[in-house]
Structure 1
Amino acid sequence: MSEDIYDAQFVKGVFDRCSGQYIAFSWVCSFGFTERWRRQCVELMPAPETRQPKGYDLMAGTGEVWPHLLKRFPDIAEITAVDISSGMHLRAMERLHTHRAHKIAFIEDDVLASDLPDADADFIVSTFGLKTFNSEQHAKLARLVARCLRPGGVFCMIEASDPKGWWLRPLYLFHLKVVLPLVERTLLNGAQDFSMIGTYSTNFGDASAVAEMLRAEGLEVEFKRFFFGCATAVAGRKPAAFAPS
């Protein structure tokens, strides 16, 4: 592929075109695991110290993590969703979150180019957005998380990953590389957009490198695997006495 699949406008095009059927596709093709992993991501995140916390959902997509956030932390004052795809956000509000609109703001922007304020967030969450970045972009994201969190602020990010060492890994990769494109061609409309999700996932590897980048920025970080490494997460906190790296 001659195009840069990590270019912001390329990513926006993929997810704008996917947005109409993304929720159903994601649930069916992951056998419901994406929903389970979103819940586990929120469970893994340390509790914010602020009484009525506000924070960001980065690469927010269709906002499927918001119900889990608001269930665990009902006193959340505001979630600001940041995503380059306006189509995904519109889908979120139409299908899932109309009655939560008073707690949800939206910024349509490339997260890495966004002008988010320093030390303003009590929490940062991201579910299944890490794969759309390359290693250099992950380093920028780590700097952004460290910059935007208040001292004592918390975070958790989860992503579908390559379960290296698992004896069923060949079957898992077959599902990503063969089954997902087949489902798209036979049941869905789209020019290889849904199959790109499999490409991003296999290229990603796991979140261990992201964990090291976050630690390098001075954050406290836990790295965790789910379901034999088919998903990996990073969670932690910005120290109260934070010294920039």
Structure 2
Amino acid sequence: MEEYNQSVDNRIYDTAFVKNLFNDMSKTYDRVNYITSFGFSKRWRKQFVNEVTLSEGDVVADILTGMGECWEFSLNQIGQTGKIIALDFSEGMIQHAKARKDKLRGENIQILCEDVFNSSISDSSVNAVICGFGIKTFSNQQLQKLSIEINRILKPGDIFL
């Protein structure tokens, strides 16, 4: 039984497993998240993004963006001259993110369907990196790799939340 538990525990950090999980969940993610959080998920995202002070014109990388649920709160701070680079590896979640972007006409949002550990985001190119809930899907070793990637894309002295 212990061998089974260890293999299940390790599987939850497997990139392919997590990607398939979010692709499958993308169909109902928004609704289930709202119900299971008793409607607080939107409030939590707003509080989360408001923890960082963004400025007009800032570039924000929203890694593990999911459906782009944090965008409206970032856009309130960075304005029309700012930019969001939204990154996720789940095609299902990205499909919903693109639909959300279509509703936000005129906003500068670049959506990337890429692996967070091997993204095309340029070195030292963003003022802030945000990650709403995705960190919970990583092992300690993956978190170390993620911190290196975040450090690579952040401008010196800027912030990760």
What TM-score, normalized by structure 2, do the two folds share?
0.86
Does 1:92 find its partner at 2:97? yes
What secondary structure does 2:104 align onto?
helix
Residue 73 (structure 1) aligns with: 78
Cα RMSD of the aligned pairs, angstroms, is: 1.8
The count of residues paired between Structure 1 and Structure 2 equals 153
* 1-structure distance, mates of 2:19, 2:25: 10
Map 1:43-192 → 2, pairs under 5 A: 43-48=50-55, 51-94=56-99, 96-100=100-104, 102-156=107-161
Offset, 1:76: 4.7
- The aligned residue for residue 242 of structure 1 is none
Rounded to whole Å, the distance in 2 between the matches of 1:70 and 1:114 is: 22
2:46 maps to 1:42: no
**1:85 shift after superposition:** 0.4
- What amino acid is the match of 1:130? I
Counterpart CA distance in 2 for 1:22 and 1:131 is 16
Question: Using the alignment, how far apart are the partners of 1:89 and 1:122 within structure 2?
Answer: 23
Q: Tell me which amino acid in the other structure corresponds to 1:99.
A: K
Uncovered stretches (5+) of structure 2, i.e. residues with no partner: none
**CA offset digits 1:77-116 (Å, max 9, x no partner):** 221111010111111232x331325511111122023243
Q: With structure 1 as the length reference, what TM-score do the two structures score?
A: 0.58
Q: Matched residue of 2:110: which SS?
A: strand
- Counterpart of 2:145, as a letter, is K
Which residue in the other structure is 1:203 paired with? none
| Runs of 4+ in structure 1 over 6 Å off | none
CA contact (8 A) 1:46 1:154 kept: no
Q: Could you tell me which amino acid in structure 1 is paired with residue 89 of structure 2?
A: I
Is the CA contact (8 Å cut-off) linking 1:57 and 1:82 kept in structure 2? yes
Higher relative contact order (CA 8 A, sep 6+): 2
**Distance in 2 (alpha carbons) for counterparts of 1:67 and 1:92:** 12
Residue 20 (1) aligns with residue 27 (2): yes
Larger radius of gyration: 1
C-alpha distance in 2 between matches for 1:25 and 1:34: 10
- 2:87, 2:116 within 8 Å by CA — same for their partners in 1? yes
